[in-house]
Amino acid sequence: MKKLTLFLVVAIFLFSFSCEKKPTGPTTQKPTFTIYGVVVKDLNISKDIAAFTVSRNDTLFNSAIVKVGNKTIPNTISGLYYKEFQDTTFHVKTAYTDSIISPQDTVTITFRFAMPDIFSASINPADSVNENGLAVVVTWTTSDSATAYIISVVKGDTIPGAVLHKAIVTGPLTTIPPDAFRKPNGDVVSGLYWVYMVAYNKSFVSYPDMPFTLPSGLPANNISGAKGTIGAGVIAEKITIRVP
């Protein structure tokens, strides 16, 4: 009888314990990261550049560990990770992995790209004087590992008023229209113009002190596990055009 009583007591205890509602804590939601980054080889200044902007839950984030290959990119100002390297740091036609790590969230986001090959651009005719602000044909050598090319024409001096030109092109030839050298009313704008050509892999985004502007329509939202865009590019030596 004692054994039966003890058994019933233990059974009731276990049943009541199993029926108790287990306490539930607040659900931890994974943060959302937004990353815009680019690795650049600029032949005009003989430098390699890495620039990344990192946001966590739409707030600029300073606590990430950002790397390109084995190179760590330091946080310079709020949310911006930037460093200039010697031009032999990132090798052309070579694959690299970007890694953006948030230790506090145990989150690692990676992105793989290939640095495009060095290339050169030229104009036809070779004479850089555009006497009457006419169309200019630009040709360039093919860059291995390039997804496509960017052309961006900027004013090389302080004379304002030109409607400039920028576009994504597949190559190896494109034409700068006469509008790039004229005001909206058709008047020619004298001065110096610089033509920048970029061979990019995956995409290309703006970075601090970039000397030209980008066209719309570049590939976007190409990162797995995060919002934003990452790419790499080689900037050829710029072409100078003078309109007298």
> CATH code at 49?
2.60.40
For residue 180, give the 3-state DSSP assignment. helix
Residues of the domain holding 127: 121-202+210-216+237-243
Q: Quick one: 94 and 130 in the same domain? A: no
> CATH code at 166?
2.60.40.10
Domain presence at residue 22: no
Q: What is the tens place of the pLDDT at every residue in 134-177?
A: 999 999 999 999 999 999 999 988 777 788 999 999 989 999 99
pLDDT for position 10: 37
Residue 128, pLDDT > 90, answer: no
Q: Quick one: 77 and 99 in the same domain? A: yes
Q: What is the tens place of the pLDDT at every residue in 14-24?
A: 334 344 444 45
Higher confidence at residue 13 or residue 95? 95
Q: Quick one: 102 and 49 in the same domain? A: yes
The dihedral of CA 229, 234, 237, 242: what is its sign? Answer: negative
pLDDT for position 13: 39
Beta-carbon count within 10 A of 125 CB = 10
